[in-house]
Each structure stands twice: as structure tokens, then as C-alpha cells.
Structure 1
Amino acid sequence: MLWLLFLLVACAAAVAAAREPEGAGAGRGALSLYEAAFLSGGPQRVGDLALVVMDRQRRLLLAHTGWVTVVDPDGRDELERSVISAIGPHGQSPVPAVRSALASAAPVRALADRLVTAGLAVPAAARTNVAAAVRHVRAAVGLVLLMGAAALLIVPPESGRGQAAAWFTLPLLLTLSCLAIARVEVHPYTRWASPAGQKLLGRIETPRPRPGRPARRADERGGGVAGGCGRDAADAEILTALALHGASALPDPALRAAFKAHWGH
């Protein structure tokens, strides 16, 4: 009955997989646009939103060549001042360099801390732990299959391989169930939003402006942007789409090109 040793290993792997940490979170009211950007795409999405907000106000110029130029050097809040600081004293910088600097800027870190404290964002350590836990569960599935195959190889046909295979069904089902639950609850495994944050994101309408659609800046319409967010419907649609879906959702081809540029171009 040597195959029972393989069964014990498989069961131990299944039990360990079942003990992997689960996600948790607590919720609160509606999200601001910058909060939605962080929960949807992390620190870099927040910086991207700030760049586009300032571009639409004509206080920055995002060029399709991948460079950003300061037009108005006076930021209206800490995040905008971080944008200007990231661009540098010469008032012009490659967009990739600015995006990289903004991802670790103090206002972005403070926003992340507030969301984590509110239970809406997943702490950095938890994101790492969840990803590692999923890898462990996948490894457990592979180990159960390996042990089952090894057991079937050493069981003589006349002893009944079907009975031996049946014993491996439970640990296999347990590990596969853990993997399925992880995929439903925390997929993708580095998601920024906690389950509570995901629920709040789900309440936001998700416009996707059509590429090629005119996207005039605020000063061209005689309007502005209140609190870093669009005051009229057009701005609200564009900025919400950016916050939730990233730069690929921007309707202006020149803006999309600015964010696609490589370092130094």
C-alpha cells in the first residue's frame, strides 16, 4: 500500500492550499475620481489622470511626441504641484519619466494610505501575499496530480487502480475549488481594490469615449474643471473613462500617443 504515502502528501498539500489567506475589506460612500483611478489602475493611473486634467485646463501641454510641457507653473493642490515638480525646473520632460515619478509621489502615497485605511484598497503586502497564495494553490494542484499519477503507476492493475484514483479525488477537488474561489474573488491577483472597493467601482458608470471623437479642452469651451474633475458632461465622460479604463480609453489620438511614447522619445 505504498500508494497511500502519495495520498497523504496530496491531502497535506490540499489542506495547506485551503488555509491560504482570504481577502477582506470595509466600505464607505461614493468615490472621488482620483480614488476611482487608484482602485482601477493603481498609483500610475492617478498620475495619468492628473496629467490629463491639467492638459485639458491648458496648464500643461501633452504632446503626441511623448513630451509634457508646463504652461502654468502654479499647481492648485499637492498632487498638481507634484506633477510640476516631476516635470522639472526646465518645464519640459518625457511623459514616461513624469509618470514614473508621480507613481511614488507623496500625495499618491497618501491617497493609497487613506483607501487602505478605509478598507477599499488592498495593502501592498496583501497583494503580494495573495499572488503568492495563488501560486501555492496552483503548485498544490500540480502536486496532487503528480502524486495521483505516481500512485497509479505503482498499484498493480489486479489490485484495482480505480479505487486508488478515487482516493485522490477529494484533495484534487479541494485544491481546484480553492483556485476557482481565488479566481472569482481576487482575479486578477494583483487587483488594487478590495472587494468593498470593487463594489463602489461597480456603481460608477463606465463611459468609453469613442476614439476620434472631438475632445476640446476646457478653455476652448469657456468652461473649467472643478476639483480636478470635469465640470461639464464631456469632461466628466473623458476623465471617468480614463480613471476606470486607462489611457487607451482617451478619445484624443494625440493624448493616447503621448502615453504610449517610450522613454526618451
Structure 2
Amino acid sequence: MVWVPLLLVAFVAAGAGCVRVCRASIAAARPHEARGGTDELTVCEAAYLAGGPLRVTDLTLVSMHRARRLLLARTGWATVVDTAGGGGDELECAVLGAIGPGGQSPVPAVRPVIAAAEPVRLLADGLVERGLAVSEEGRRELAAGVRAVRAGFLLTLVLGTVAALLVPEGERAPVLAGFALPLIGSGLCLLIGLIDVYPYTRWASPAGQRLLAGLSPADPLTALATRGPAVLEPELRAALKPWERSRK
């Protein structure tokens, strides 16, 4: 029965990971009390819920490009064309600030700067307060829960292998049966975390997901917000992600 302590360790590791990811998913799905919000989304809010800060950045860049305030070249450079109009838009001001006084900058260099700008953080905070987005802490806990389940699954697999080698071949059946329980449990929990919990609640809460599902992609900017740069024409896709073009 030398394998019994190993089985107990496997149960504890697998159970702790499963509990953590379940608690994180329940916390992310818990409805929040709205604070003066509405059940309508702006296109920037939809972009954040669907793809996070970088999606908001792409939306703003494309919007400015189509308004002829910015030129996005397929070579991956952004060039300021007009700085006069739309000065009250904080996101557009963040774009101009990220590009700098020279008026031209590589898109891969400005995207993370815009995504970390104050207007994007305020947008995210407002969505969290309305219960439409998962908080940064909630996203970290979800990711940590998935990692804990993965670690528990791998540890159970290793301990089960070691335990099976410690007993005679004819006595391995109960050992394999015992380790099958935490292995299957953590495996199913990991599958749920990777497929159902972690990717789809990374930014939007269940309430936010319902609002996203009700948006029509007929408007090009709404389609970009909800579905990403894949809906854009090839030139703009290349401008936003020039590294993809270089790999072709």
C-alpha cells in the first residue's frame, strides 16, 4: 500500500486546482449591480468586451484611417494626416500621442502604447462597474486556476506512473483505478477551463457576452469590434499586423 500516500497527494493537487478554477469562473459569472449604466454598448465598449484593449486600439486606428485623419500603410506604418478634427475624442488623442510629434510610427510600436493608455483603462473600469466585463483580478484568477488544474493533472499523471511501478504487475489494477478518478476529474476540469471558461470570459462577463451576441455585424466598425481584423480588407489587415504578411 505504498502507493496510497501518492494517491492522496494526487487527490489534493487535483482537487485544489479544480476548486480554484471553479471559484474563479463562478466569481466571473456572478452578476454585478449596474451603476447608472444602460443595456447599450458603444462600438468601443463592444471592441473591449470582444477583444480587450488591443481590439479597441485596432478599432480606433481603422476609424481614424477611414475618417482620413490617419493613413495606415500596408507596410505597417501609421502616418498622421489631420490633427485638427475630432480633438475631443480621448482615444484618438491617445493615438496621436502614441505616434508622437514626428507624425509617423510603426503600428506594432504604437498598438501596445495605445492599449495601455488612460482612456482605455477608464473604458475598462466603466464596463467592470456595469458588470459587463471581467475585472483584471478576475482574469488573473481565471488564468491561475487553469494553470493550477493543468499542474494537478500532470502531477497526478506522474504520481500514477510512479505508483504503478512501485507495485507488482499483478497488483496494478487497483492502483490504476484509484488514480483514474483524480486524473479524469482534473482532465475534465482542465478541458472546461480551456474551452468554456478561460477564453470566453477573458474580457466579457456573461452579461457582456449577451449584449455582444445581440449586436449586428452589418456596420463595418461593429463587425471589426466584435470579430476582429479578419473582417477587414487585406490592405488594412496587413497594416495592423505586418508580421503576418512577412510570414507568407
Which of 81, 87, 94 is equivalent to 1:71? 81
2:24 aligned partner, one-letter code: E
CA contact (8 A) 1:185 1:195 kept: no
Residue number in structure 2 paired with 1:17: 17
Residue number in structure 2 paired with 1:50: 60
Residue number in structure 1 paired with 2:224: 242
Residue number in structure 2 paired with 1:254: 235
Alpha-carbon distance between aligned partners in 1 of 2:200 and 2:161, rounded to the nearest angstrom:
29
Alpha-carbon distance between aligned partners in 1 of 2:79 and 2:95, rounded to the nearest angstrom:
11
C-alpha spacing 1:100/1:146, structure 2 compared with 1 (3 Å): closer
Using structure 2 for the length normalisation, give the TM-score. 0.83
Q: Paired residues, what number?
A: 232
Residue number in structure 2 paired with 1:225: none
Alpha-carbon distance between aligned partners in 1 of 2:43 and 2:107, rounded to the nearest angstrom:
21
Identity of aligned residues (%): 53
Deviation sequence 1:166-203 (CA, Å, 0-9, x none): 22232223212321331343232882222332222222
CA contact (8 A) 1:13 1:143 kept: yes
TM-fit CA distance, 1:69: 2.5
Alpha-carbon distance between aligned partners in 2 of 1:183 and 1:90, rounded to the nearest angstrom:
43
Matches for 1:1-265 after TM superposition, within 5 Å:
1-20=1-20, 21-23=23-25, 24-25=28-29, 26=31, 29-74=39-84, 75-158=87-170, 160-188=171-199, 191-206=202-217, 236=219, 238-251=220-233, 253-261=234-242
1:257 aligned partner, one-letter code: A
Deviation sequence 1:89-120 (CA, Å, 0-9, x none): 23332222332321111111100111122222
Alpha-carbon distance between aligned partners in 1 of 2:108 and 2:163, rounded to the nearest angstrom:
54
SS in 1 for 2:147: helix
1:88 aligned partner, one-letter code: G
Greater Rg by CA = 1
TM-fit CA distance, 1:206: 4.1
Residue number in structure 1 paired with 2:246: none
SS in 1 for 2:78: strand
1:14 aligned partner, one-letter code: A
What runs of 5+ residues in structure 1 fail to find an aligned partner?
208-235
Alpha-carbon distance between aligned partners in 2 of 1:174 and 1:66, rounded to the nearest angstrom:
46
Deviation sequence 1:123-172 (CA, Å, 0-9, x none): 223222222221111111111122222222222244x3212222223222
* Superposed CA RMSD: 2.4
Alpha-carbon distance between aligned partners in 2 of 1:150 and 1:121, rounded to the nearest angstrom:
44
CA contact (8 A) 1:131 1:190 kept: no
What runs of 5+ residues in structure 2 fail to find an aligned partner?
33-37, 244-248
Structure (1 or 2) with the greater helix fraction: 2
Using structure 1 for the length normalisation, give the TM-score. 0.78
Alpha-carbon distance between aligned partners in 1 of 2:159 and 2:200, rounded to the nearest angstrom:
27
